[in-house]
Amino acid sequence: PAEAMAAKGRTEMEVGGDGVAVITICNPPVNSLSIDVLLSLKESYEEALQRTDVKAIVVTGKGGKFSGGFDISSFGDLHSGKIEQPKVGYISIDILTELLEGATKPSVAAIDGLCLGGGLEVSMACHARISTPTAQLGLPELQLGIIPGFGGTQRLPRLVGLTKSLEMILLSKPIKGEEAHQVGLVDSIVSPNDLVNTARRWALDICELRKPWIKSLYKTDKLEPLGEAREILKFARAQARKQAANLEHPLVCIDVIEEGIISGPQAGLWKEANAFQSLLFSDTCKSLLHVFFSQRATSKVPGATDLGLMPRKITKVAILGGGLMGSGIATAMILSNYPVLLKEVNEKFLNAGIDRIKANLQSRVRKGKMTEERYEKALSLVTGALGYEKFKEVDLVIEAVIENVKLKQQIFADLEKYCPSHCILATNTSTIDLNLIGEKTKSQDRIVGAHFFSPAHVMPLLEIVRTQHTSAQVVVDLLDVGKRIKKTPIVVGNCTGFAVNRMFFPYTQSALLFVDYGMDVYKIDRACTKFGMPMGPFRLADLVGFGVAVATGMQYLENFPERVYKSMLIPIMMEDKRAGEASRKGFYKYEDKRKATPDPEIMTYIQKSRSMAGVTPDAELMKLSDKDIVEMVFFPVINEACRVLDEGIAVKASDLDIASIFGMGFPPYRGGVMLWGDSIGAKYIHGKLQEWAKRYGSFFEPCSYLAERAAKGIPLVSMSGISFQLKTL
């Protein structure tokens, strides 16, 4: 059909009286390089090279953006075979190296806005680059599980040196035009208004030998001497292994860069082209791509963002409670310039709260993320309060007091009295049902959950909880606040634990169960960190504190008694004043501040817990591999995620993937719990859970949603173009 044939973007060419052909990349919103755009670029070049009225070429992007890189939305079509893959090296060697860089007419890139990935690679094949000071230049491909594939691994080191290029590529870190000029990536900085004209003149200057005609691929002056280069690469490899031991593509990238340095840029280009092709089809790439799109999809919420509502302006925010959460939320708010009214019950607590905010900000100053001046300005946005007098001025209140239902009910009744009628009444509760909190309040449509994760000014997730009464406007408003404070939001329904903690709960639960059945605490934690979690369930319980763990456990026991495993281990340890990291003793010992060391003393508690549970250690469990352990800890998480979806608490499975990554620290390169589940298969997961349910009880009982998917072979996450051949474990 004609529609399906419509080209995805194009280039436009205009030849001026000065003999310069300006080729403009046009593919909104970010001028991404689809295959269509690249083929059109090739055609424009061929025409420009043939025409006798063209002396030189300028490449630029439409609407103040050079290009956001290769078209990511076409990856899925490449994966599924819907689009045919160009032959290896066709774009990087045939088009960019031979046609563009090797042309008999010089090219200059005129760069504004985004110049990322393939976009920067096109510009590096040009003979000079002119940029605005604010343009963003970078090679963020590793973030997507691939490597730069249009010559970036070869040209960037030759333009800026090995050290700087490794930093930019391995950390996927773009730099601004200004810095790009300092490091030699661009040749001149001009204002957006002068950009294209400067590039035109530069191109003509190259023709007339007033400026050098430089092919980046053959530059050597910026490359470190061979011996030094080898050392730098060796160090980079060690760093990459340390940072993400499970990832292969950063190491492949370093190999490809090395090839260019040792065997020359042509060999490097070929190695890059081959590696790019195979990485494009890796599970890591598929998973990271899923994360990229899922993250953007979280702010598209049916029944809220599809109604044409505009977010209202939130001018002032009040926060109740200056504890760990309240002060963290206040910090997040003032960092995005929201004035904050911080309320506490007495002077002492208020001062402690403000001190915590100061400490949060100071830590940013120490790390060089904030100037002293910004610090003072941010701090000046906080006003303390002991009463509700000033609450008539606020548009949003976030309650962050202790998890006590009665107290929260009283607070919400008070808020209704003192806040203006448009004010959003949010609670940061992490487990309590919102309807219970708002029971004594009439303004049900304004009540919403704004669940932050500790430390609130650092953790990127914001769980927005709507009840059946919460208005769509309030959800839209909070999504906007979330965006402004740079959080990834997920909008979920109301129930005990909401989506994130409900998924999180079985993680610790199954670990506790298997310890009663004979597994080793530290072995479980090690298996989880090897899998890619920032910490295992026991180290995490220590960090969160046993008090919180027990309080949460009680909430679950009340609401989902059939699937709570009543381990006595934590309560027994608490009797002995072991309460986690804060008490310096939990599952680990903490002698040197945060350093966790295994503690043989915990065996006494474990034995006691086992005898109270009346179970005998299962010898088979002790022989399990890390893979088995990870399955035992995470399959119950997937099972609960399925329930959360089935009950409509989460809108879509991909939201749960994002929640698991940003809220639990699940490794993004595995795509989130649901996509990871798909890489293993619902049938296998269901089978295992059934087997464990028989052996170890109803905690493992697979839910009907999972059973149906297992029986019918339906994936847990629907995402076009993603299919797994491998088990990623």
Closest by Cα among 70, 45, 247, 242 to 145: 247
The footprint of ligand 3HC on this chain (CB under 6 A) covers a number of residues equal to 23
d(CA 331, CA 458): 9
Please tell me whether residue 30 binds ligand 3HC under the rule CB under 6 A. Answer: yes
- Which stretch in 146-154, 315-323, 496-504, 626-634 sits in contact with ligand 3HC by CB under 6 A? 146-154
| Residue 141 in the binding site for ligand 3HC (CB under 6 A) | yes
Report the run of H or E that residue 424 belongs to, with start and end. Answer: strand 424-427
Residues in CB range of 300: below 8 A, 6 or more apart: 306
Q: Does 140 bind ligand 3HC (CB under 6 A)?
A: yes
**Nearer residue to ligand 3HC within complex by CB, 150 or 498:** 150
To ligand 3HC, the closest distance from the beta carbon of 665 in angstroms equals 21
Residue 640 CB neighbours (<10 A): 25
Contact status: 70 vs ligand 3HC (CB under 6 A): yes
> Does the footprint of ligand 3HC cover residue 482 (CB under 6 A)?
no
Which residue number, 116 or 378, has a Cβ lying nearer to ligand 3HC?
Answer: 116
Rounded to whole angstroms, how far apart are CA atoms 273 and 90? 9
Position 669 contacts ligand 3HC (CB under 6 A): no
Q: In this complex, which beta carbon is closest to ligand 3HC, that of residue 48 or of residue 137?
A: 137
CA distance 69 to 394: 43
To the nearest whole angstrom, how small is the minimum distance from the Cβ of residue 653 to ligand 3HC?
18
CB 477 within 8 A of CB 424: yes
Least Å from the CB of residue 338 to ligand 3HC: 20
Furthest C-alpha separation in the chain:
91
CB of 729 to ligand 3HC, least distance (A): 27
Grouping H, G, I as helix, E, B as strand and the rest as coil, residue 15 is strand
Least distance in angstroms from the C-beta of 174 to ligand 3HC: 8
Full DSSP string of 526-539? HHHHHHT-SS-HHH
d(CA 578, CA 614): 23
- Does residue 73 belong to the site contacting ligand 3HC (CB under 6 A)? yes
10 Å CB burial of residue 658 (0-12, 13-18, 19+) is: buried
Which range of residues in 140-148, 258-266, 391-399, 530-538 is near ligand 3HC by CB under 6 A?
140-148
- End-to-end CA distance of the chain, in Å? 41
Binding mask 119-138 for ligand 3HC (x = CB under 6 A): --x-----------------
Nearer to ligand 3HC, 86 or 665 (CB): 86
What distance lies between CA 148 and its chain's CA centroid? 20
The residue (of 152 and 497) whose beta carbon lies closer to ligand 3HC is 152
Task: Record the tokens describing residue 48, joined without a space.
Answer: 């420009």
Nearest approach, Cβ of residue 289 and ligand 3HC (Å): 10
Angle at 23 between CA 18 and CA 27, to 5 degrees: 155
Rounded Cα distance between 255 and 237, Å, is: 9
- Is there a catalytic annotation at residue 101? no
For ligand 3HC, the closer of residues 129 and 343 by Cβ is 129
Helices 673-680 + 626-646 axis angle, to 10: 120
Residue list 248-277, contact with ligand 3HC (CB under 6 A):
none
Compute the least distance from the CB of residue 716 to ligand 3HC, in Å.
22
Tokens coding 703: 């839910």
Residue 185: exposed, middle, or buried by beta-carbon count in 10 A (0-12, 13-18, 19+)? buried
Return the residue nearest ligand 3HC (CB atom): 117
Q: Using CB under 6 A, which of 1, 29, 81, 713 touches ligand 3HC?
A: 29
Q: Which is nearer to ligand 3HC, 121 or 678 (CB)?
A: 121
- The verdict on 68 binding ligand 3HC (CB under 6 A) reads yes
Distance CA 129, CA 116 (A): 14
Options 8-16, 113-121, 448-456, 699-707: segment touching ligand 3HC (CB under 6 A): 113-121
Binding segment toward ligand 3HC, per CB under 6 A, in 62-70, 126-134, 348-356, 580-588: 62-70
Q: Could you say whether residue 553 binds ligand 3HC (CB under 6 A)?
A: no
Tokens (6 digits) for 136? 């963003």
Among 150, 270, 338, 546, binds ligand 3HC (CB under 6 A): 150
What secondary structure, in 3-state letters, does 85-129 show?
Answer: CCCCCHHHHHHHHHHHHCCCCCEEEEECCEEECHHHHHHHHCCEE
Closest to 510 in 3D by CA, of 640, 388, 385, 383: 640
Catalytic residue among 3, 47, 141, 399: 141
C-alpha to C-alpha distance for 642 and 689, rounded to whole angstroms: 13
Q: Which stretch binds ligand 3HC (CB under 6 A): 24-32, 348-356, 387-395, 424-432?
A: 24-32
Q: How far is CA 242 from CA 166, 499, 606, in A?
A: 16, 32, 33
- Closer CB to ligand 3HC, residue 178 or residue 393? 178
Rounded CA separation 586/573 (Å): 8
Query: With CB under 6 A as the contact rule, which of the stretches 71-79, 340-348, 659-667, 703-711 interacts with ligand 3HC?
Result: 71-79
Query: Which of 38, 144, 169, 424 lies at the binding interface for ligand 3HC (CB under 6 A)?
Result: 144
Residue pair 384/303 in contact (Cβ under 8 Å)? The answer is: no
Is the Cβ of residue 293 or residue 560 nearer to ligand 3HC in the bound state?
A: 293
User: In terms of CB distance, is 71 or 655 closer to ligand 3HC?
Assistant: 71
- Region 293-312 residues binding ligand 3HC, contact defined as CB under 6 A: 296
Residue 287 contacts residue 319 (beta carbons within 8 Å): no
Give the Cα separation of 514 and 510 in Å (integer): 6
Q: Is 156 in the site for ligand 3HC (CB under 6 A)?
A: no
Among the listed residues 121, 258, 416, 631, the single catalytic one is 121
In angstroms, the CA 501 to CA 663 distance is: 9
Q: Are 134 and 158 in contact (CB under 8 A)?
A: no
**Residue 69 within binding range of ligand 3HC, rule CB under 6 A:** yes
What is the distance between the alpha carbons of residues 87 and 72, in angstroms, rounded to a whole number?
Answer: 18
Q: Binder to ligand 3HC among 76, 106, 152, 438 (CB under 6 A)? A: 152
Alpha helices in 244-345 (DSSP H): 249-263, 265-280, 283-297, 324-335
Q: Which amino acid is at 46?
A: E
Annotation marks residue 121 as catalytic: yes
Q: Per CB under 6 A, which region of 29-37, 485-493, 617-625, 677-685 contacts ligand 3HC?
A: 29-37
Q: What is the footprint of ligand 3HC within residues 381-420 (CB under 6 A)?
A: none
- Which of these ranges, 2-10, 142-150, 372-380, 389-397, lies near ligand 3HC under the rule CB under 6 A? 142-150
CB of 191 to ligand 3HC, least distance (A): 22
Residue 148 contacts ligand 3HC per CB under 6 A: yes
Residue 116 contacts ligand 3HC per CB under 6 A: yes
Phi and psi dihedrals of 494, rounded to 5?
-95, 130
The answer for residues whose C-beta is within 8 angstroms of residue 259's C-beta and 6 or more apart is 267, 268, 271, 272
Q: Hey, is 558 helix, strand or coil?
A: helix
| Site for ligand 3HC, residues 570 to 599, rule: CB under 6 A | none
With contacts defined by CB under 6 A, name the span among 117-125, 253-261, 434-442, 644-652 that binds ligand 3HC.
Answer: 117-125
| Least Å from the CB of residue 300 to ligand 3HC | 8
Q: How far apart are CA 582 and CA 197, in angstroms?
A: 62
Nearer to ligand 3HC, 192 or 384 (CB): 192
**Residue from 114, 289, 314, 330 in contact with ligand 3HC (CB under 6 A):** 114
Of the two residues 140 and 536, which places its CB atom closer to ligand 3HC in the complex? 140
Residues noted as catalytic: 121, 141
Q: Which residues bind ligand 3HC (CB under 6 A)?
A: 29-30, 32, 68-73, 114, 116-118, 121, 140-141, 143-144, 148-150, 152, 296
